[in-house]
Amino acid sequence: MSRVAIVGATGAVGQTFRQVLEERQFPATEYVLLASERSAGKAVDWVGGQHTVKPLTADSFADVQFAFFSAGGSVSREYAPLAARTGALVIDNSSAFRMAPEVPLVVPEINADAARQHQGIIANPNCSTIIMTMPLWPLHRHNPVRRVVVSTYQAASGAGARALEELESQTRDVLAGQPAVPSVFHVPCAFNVFSHNTAIGEDGYNVEEKKMILETHKIVGDGSIAISPTCMRVPVARAHTESLAIEFSSAIEESAAREWLGAAPGVTVVDDRAQNRFPTPLDASDRDDVLVGRIRRDPSVPENRGLSLICSGDQLRKGAALNAVQIAELFI
């Protein structure tokens, strides 16, 4: 039994942490809900009682065994090492430590063993990366992947609770004949599709795309996989969808791929050609599994070595809170 802290408990990921921990009956004796001064004192009804949100301070982690961080990179950089020094196992949702060599970057279905090497902090990967690697891994294990061309269709809530509110309020404004005024995003998000809101480097790739390349290499433990990502936002509330065109080392049969994906934990195949039913973000929302479908041969790759598919996963669950709780469960 343990004392558990959630840093960023009032945010989009923090709220999902509360749902997931309750659903999975995480064996906590006490929860400490932490946020900024803005939310301090707020009452939250949860796990059979009322909890009061406390302001995050250096003293927040006394006797805490697990500390889930989801309050952004700068908060993690300042407080996660402190929590770890106090004796907590930190599972961090920000990008602050993901590429640090001493910090494991873990998707439990893929590299649970890496978690054992932790020195107090374990990083939860980027949400688009988790959702891509969930179907990629069971295929890669059978037939090593040489190259992936991935395009994302990312939900507004991936940028936080305020971004979701912006999508909702802009949608209402546009339907009422008013202009969509951007505030969280750099362009209107309602009725629009746009390049991911992270900064673009001199090479033309944005930060999200770079994360998908580097983090996939670290999780899978294979830096030789060539990855060509294009990350986009779409006016969807929740769950990221991705299209993958995958080139394998040797010929691959659609039927075998379907079988491997069907047997993979955390993956559900939704691939009904007759009814034209495939993964959608609405179906993936509030679900733990990543949905995979449109599994088909890619005729542009020679020797029958190419396969295309789409996947859709709840980026607040498997892309964030659920994956982090699964990591913590490895230590119970």
Ligand X SMILES: NC(=O)c1ccc[n+]([C@@H]2O[C@H](COP(=O)([O-])OP(=O)(O)OC[C@H]3O[C@@H](n4cnc5c(N)ncnc54)[C@H](OP(=O)(O)O)[C@@H]3O)[C@@H](O)[C@H]2O)c1
Q: What character string, x for contact with ligand X (CB under 6 A) and - otherwise, covers 75-94?
A: x-----------------xx
Distance between CA atoms of 246 and 151, rounded to whole angstroms?
A: 12
Give the CB-nearest residue to ligand X.
11
Q: Which of 118, 140, 240, 311 is catalytic?
A: 240
252 near ligand X, judged by CB under 6 A:
no
CA quadruple 118, 106, 98, 230: dihedral, nearest 10? 170
Annotated catalytic residue 240: yes
Q: Considering only residues 5, 20, 21, 56, which one is a binding residue for ligand X as defined by CB under 6 A?
A: 56
Q: Quick one: CA dihedral 274, 275, 276, 278, positive or negative? A: negative
158 near ligand X, judged by CB under 6 A:
yes
DSSP one-letter code for 156: G
Q: Considering only residues 4, 28, 35, 121, which one is a binding residue for ligand X as defined by CB under 6 A?
A: 35
Annotated catalytic residue 311: no
Q: Considering only residues 110, 241, 319, 326, which one is a binding residue for ligand X as defined by CB under 6 A?
A: 319
Q: What character string, x for contact with ligand X (CB under 6 A) and - otherwise, covers 166-195?
A: ------------------------------
Could you tell me the smallest distance in angstroms from the CB atom of residue 108 to ligand X? 16
Distance between CA atoms of 107 and 272, rounded to whole angstroms?
A: 28
Q: Looking at beta carbons only, is 72 or 81 nearer to ligand X? A: 72
Distance between CA atoms of 324 and 120, rounded to whole angstroms?
A: 14
**3-class SS at 153?**
strand
Number of residues that bind ligand X (CB under 6 A): 29
- In the chain, alpha helices (H): 12-23, 73-86, 108-115, 127-142, 161-175, 207-220, 254-263, 281-284, 322-329
Q: Which stretch binds ligand X (CB under 6 A): 108-116, 216-224, 251-259, 315-323?
A: 315-323
CA distances from 326 to 107, 112, 139, 320 (A): 8, 9, 22, 10
Could you tell me the smallest distance in angstroms from the CB atom of residue 12 to ligand X? 4
Distance between CA atoms of 148 and 245, rounded to whole angstroms?
A: 6
313 near ligand X, judged by CB under 6 A:
no
Distance between CA atoms of 271 and 185, rounded to whole angstroms?
A: 33
Q: Looking at beta carbons only, is 239 or 292 nearer to ligand X? A: 239
What does the binding site for ligand X look like in residue numbers (CB under 6 A)?
A: 8-14, 35-36, 38-39, 56, 70-73, 75, 93-94, 127, 157-158, 160-162, 315-316, 319-320
The catalytic residue positions are 127, 240
